[in-house]
Amino acid sequence: MSSQNELPDELWRKILEIGTKASNFTYKDLCCVSISCRRLHRLSDEGSLWSYLLSVDFPNQISSPPSSSSPKSLYKIRFERERERKLLAHKRAVLRKESQVSEHLRKLRKFEVRLRDEREKLKSAVSELSNLHKVRQASVALNVWQPEVVRGRQKQMVEQCVVPVESRVRALEMEVKLCNQQLKVFDKAYRDEKQRLDTAKEGLKSMKYHPLRDYNLTSNESHENQKKRKKLKTCINSPDKQCKTT
């Protein structure tokens, strides 16, 4: 400390100027220096240092400070404005990302409905096609000898069919093929949209992340922590009582 006191203010002032201009001192570095001792606190408040930081950190806001405001006070005002601007910009970005997540969820629900409808349509077509194949087999079987009971059931099945079997079978086979193609298209679109949703959720999570907040803390865990803190406080206030922690 004695060697520091031996250096004159001019030399310390020059050291701070070199650090600010040549070594890229930021406002954080200058504030850290200012709390080291009273002398550096006084020297780090000089207007020339903060005027230079003003010109570097806020080059688009060049204006002479009012006579009642020091460059450091002006820097603080502009810093607070810039921080507020960035905070608002961050909130807008979070809202946009949340809107993207909602849009991806809406599209996913839409694809889920289409997939469900297409599967029902395919199931219905396959069922009708299977029945028509049975009718066609029964129609062919009527041309050969069979027991009367079996022949009667097959004849009843053929008579109950009121549509042209061959043309309807071809139409249903084409419909089944188209349904399978549509299912492949919708399934791929669903998986792609799901991937975009997961990416958007990860982006939103990173935007909302704060190192001092525990987003994984559940309500039950929070409730348990509150109970433990209350019990610990009771133990401190009443040391004679036996307190058991779970």
* Percent over 70 (pLDDT), the chain: 74
Q: Over the stretch 198-239, which tens digit does the pLDDT of each residue have?
A: 999 999 998 887 665 544 444 455 556 566 556 555 654 554
- DSSP H or E run through 122: helix 71-141
- Residue 7 DSSP one-character state: S
Tokens of 50: 């903060």
Is the CB of residue 72 less than 8 Å from the CB of residue 45? yes
pLDDT classification of 3: cutoffs 50, 70, 90: low
pTM greater than 0.85 = no
Rounded-to-integer distance, Cα 169 and Cα 138, Å? 15
Rounded-to-integer distance, Cα 108 and Cα 112, Å? 6
pLDDT classification of 57: cutoffs 50, 70, 90: confident
pLDDT classification of 33: cutoffs 50, 70, 90: confident
* Percent over 90 (pLDDT), the chain: 30
Q: What's the pLDDT score for residue 135?
A: 79
Residue 91: other Cβ atoms inside 10 A: 11
Token pair 């022949």 in the structure block, residue: 151
Residue 126: other Cβ atoms inside 10 A: 14
DSSP 68-94: TS-HHHHHHHHHHHHHHHHHHHHHHHH
Tokens of 240: 């004679």
